[in-house]
Chains A and B, each alone.
Chain A
Amino acid sequence: AQTVTQSQPEMSVQEAETVTLSCTYDTSENNYYLFWYKQPPSRQMILVIRQEAYKQQNATENRFSVNFQKAAKSFSLKISDSQLGDTAMYFCAFMKHYRYNQGGKLIFGQGTELSVKP
């Protein structure tokens, strides 16, 4: 069975600074996907970034980037130039590769509550 662990329940960062959220996972699968979701106070689940396990290059989306270490089963999220609107709960999630319409189950970590302070 796959598991996802986020060991930082809460973090804070000053506006405009950089913060890194940690995530580790355990799986015997070789083909899978990793995600970071943002959940602001509105509770909406927003996809921030995704990484395909077969890609060695780390994914980047504007101020958000990941450090994907496949051998170490580590998947951290770096937020650069933090903004007040980044204040949210962040979830790391894993999905194994499914064939056409054979599934889509996400396995989530416990979440990290990030506060960006002015």
Chain B
Amino acid sequence: EAQVTQNPRYLITVTGKKLTVTCSQNMNHEYMSWYRQDPGLGLRQIYYSMNVEVTDKGDVPEGYKVSRKEKRNFPLILESPSPNQTSLYFCASSTPAERAYNEQFFGPGTRLTVL
């Protein structure tokens, strides 16, 4: 089954304790990205990657890191989480634009709470 998986689905942590949210896709997609969802703000892009070893900042990158060592995986790293990073996080991957648009496939989301 074609899918994007994220782990963990729920995480409660404390300020300053490094954490990683994993994202994996089995569709051989080149483009992957991370979004965060906050009430009243919708979803905003944090980081994206166009291919292995190619990553770049989105609209809200502060406090986050990413890596793309393999095509299928795109982990999101919070080196020193703070309460303002409490949010719902989505990983997404997309097909190349050989069709009219880049169809996005979303993971199930990770609910992160930083105390």
Chain A interface residues toward B at CB < 8 A:
4, 6, 9, 33, 42-45, 47, 50, 52, 91, 93, 95, 97-106, 108-111
With A43-B109, A44-B109, A95-B102 given, is the CB distance from A102 to B42 under 8 Å?
Answer: no
Total number of B residues with any Cβ neighbor in A under 8 Å: 30
Beta-carbon nearest neighbor of B108 in chain A = A44
With A44-B106, A105-B45, A109-B42 given, is the CB distance from A100 to B97 under 8 Å?
Answer: yes
Q: Which DSSP category, helix, strand, loop or mixed, fits chain A's interface?
A: loop
Q: Knowing that A97-B97, A101-B30, A108-B42 are A-B contacts, what are 12 other residue pairs whose CB atoms are under 8 Å apart, sorted by A's residue number?
A: A33-B101, A43-B109, A43-B111, A44-B106, A44-B108, A45-B106, A91-B43, A97-B101, A100-B97, A101-B51, A101-B97, A105-B58
Q: Which DSSP category, helix, strand, loop or mixed, fits chain B's interface?
A: strand
Q: How far is the CB of B37 from chain A (nearest CB, A)?
A: 8
Beta-carbon nearest neighbor of A33 in chain B = B101
With A44-B108, A105-B48 given, is the CB distance from A100 to B96 under 8 Å?
Answer: yes
3 closest cross-chain pairs (CB), A and B:
A108-B42, A104-B102, A45-B106
Of the candidates A45, A97, A110, the one whose C-beta lies within 8 Å of that of B41 is A110
Q: Check B31 against A104 for contact (C-beta < 8 Å).
A: yes
Of the candidates A9, A47, A93, A103, the one whose C-beta lies within 8 Å of that of B48 is A103
With A44-B108, A103-B31, A108-B42 given, is the CB distance from A98 to B97 under 8 Å?
Answer: yes
